[in-house]
Amino acid sequence: MTRRRLTIGLLLLGLSWPLVGCGPESSAPAGEPPQPPAQTIENKGSDTLVNLALAWAEEYVRLHPDVRISVTGGGSGTGIAAMINGTVDIANASRKMKPEEIDAAEANGITPVEFVVARDAIAVVVHPSNPVDGLTLRQISDIYTGKITNWRQVGGEDRPIVLLSRESNSGTYVYFLENVVRLGDKESELLFSPDTLLMPSSEGISAEVRQNPNAIGYDGLGYVTPDQKTLAIARDANAPYVLPSVATVNDGSYPISRPLYMYTAGEPSGQVKDYLDWVLSDGQTLVAELGFVPLR
């Protein structure tokens, strides 16, 4: 197992894994004043982004061993709250900040600055044995609101549908609610069915889909494993069914895709600015490796 995969595995077990420069602590030769300790960049938030953020941090630390970067997940809302409270340098988010979050930040004397750092497709996944190959956005909405409750209603077997979702502090949950369950209608008040099982992580959805032939879930494309079946999605019954990929996100044909964000409390400076500049330039080479869509 590579170092990156081991580290990611630890993160996914819920552990915070600070990334530390490979060199020893700074020490000055005899007769010279000691050097100040290296700054640690605290980076927290979206579980969708955590693997990519970890890969970025590991590579940046390798290139800049005097820098320390701590990466933790917990959900977009958790990261944004930490940025507002001044306990992290960078908040990762798989959704835009909400107006009330911006108000809270400004009440704290903070003007959030938004960076789009990658793009993502949200894949809809089922058990490999499920004969259903594709769904329309309306069918997915009807499934997650409880209007459709049996796979037979969408061309599958006579089996009850088991609904899986991320928890409400997840940016992926918010995006899916607003753009799939509510079909982008800002006036809609549709909600997830009360029968929906809320999973604490992307890995929880993956594990349940792999073992439950009746389950349906959704997740960032970078978290979909070969032992899940990814459904093709159509905007409506007259549109083509499209599988999620880098190409279909870039050409706009896959209907469930979104930007991924990093937020800072005001314009970044110093090592935080240098790190974000690298993420938006050379760091983009890592994006596709982790299953996401580079900005260019």
Residues of the chain with pLDDT > 70, as a percent, come to: 87
pLDDT at 22: 38
73 touches 45 (CB < 8 A): yes
250 burial type by CB count under 10 A (0-12 exposed, 13-18 middle, 19+ buried)? middle
200 touches 208 (CB < 8 A): no
Write down the domain spans for the chain: 3-25+37-119+259-290, 121-257
| CATH superfamily assigned to domain 121-257 | Periplasmic binding protein-like II (3.40.190.10)
Token pair recorded at residue 149: 């409750």
pLDDT at 38: 65
Rg (alpha carbons) of the chain, rounded to whole number: 21
Does the pLDDT of residue 25 top 50, yes or no? no
Tell me the pLDDT band of 4, cut-offs 50, 70 and 90: very low
For domain 3-25+37-119+259-290, the CATH architecture is: 3-Layer(aba) Sandwich (3.40)
Selection from 20-29, 109-118, 167-176 with the highest mean pLDDT:
109-118
Q: Given the structure tokens 């969708």, which residue do they identify? A: 48
Whole-angstrom distance, CA of residue 270 vs CA of residue 39: 10
Q: What is the mean pLDDT of the chain?
A: 89
- Report the pLDDT averaged over residues 163-191: 95
Does the pLDDT of residue 9 top 50, yes or no? no
pLDDT at 291: 87
Whole-angstrom distance, CA of residue 264 vs CA of residue 281: 18
Does the pLDDT of residue 24 top 90, yes or no? no
Tell me the pLDDT band of 34, cut-offs 50, 70 and 90: low
Which residues, other chains included, contact 127 with Cβ-Cβ below 8 Å and sequence gap of 6+? 209, 210, 212, 213, 214, 215, 228, 229
Q: Residue-wise over 169-184: b if at least 16 C-beta within 10 A, else e?
A: bbbbbbbbbbbbbbee
CA-CA-CA-CA dihedral for 41, 42, 45, 50, to nearest 10: 60
Tell me whether domains 3-25+37-119+259-290 and 121-257 share a fold. yes
Does the pLDDT of residue 20 top 50, yes or no? no
pTM of the full predicted structure? 0.78
Token pair recorded at residue 158: 């006579």
Does the pLDDT of residue 284 top 50, yes or no? yes
pLDDT at 182: 98
For the beta carbon of residue 294, count every other beta carbon within 10 angstroms. 16
pLDDT digits (tens, 9 = 90+) for 227-265: 999 999 999 999 999 999 989 998 999 999 999 999 999
Residues of the chain with pLDDT > 90, as a percent, come to: 81
Token pair recorded at residue 99: 């107006």
Token pair recorded at residue 233: 């999605």
Which residues, other chains included, contact 205 with Cβ-Cβ below 8 Å and sequence gap of 6+? 125, 164, 165, 166, 199, 217, 218, 219, 223
pLDDT digits (tens, 9 = 90+) for 81-139: 999 999 999 999 999 999 999 999 999 999 999 999 999 999 999 999 999 999 999 99
For the chain, helix (H) and strand (E) counts, in that order, are 9, 12
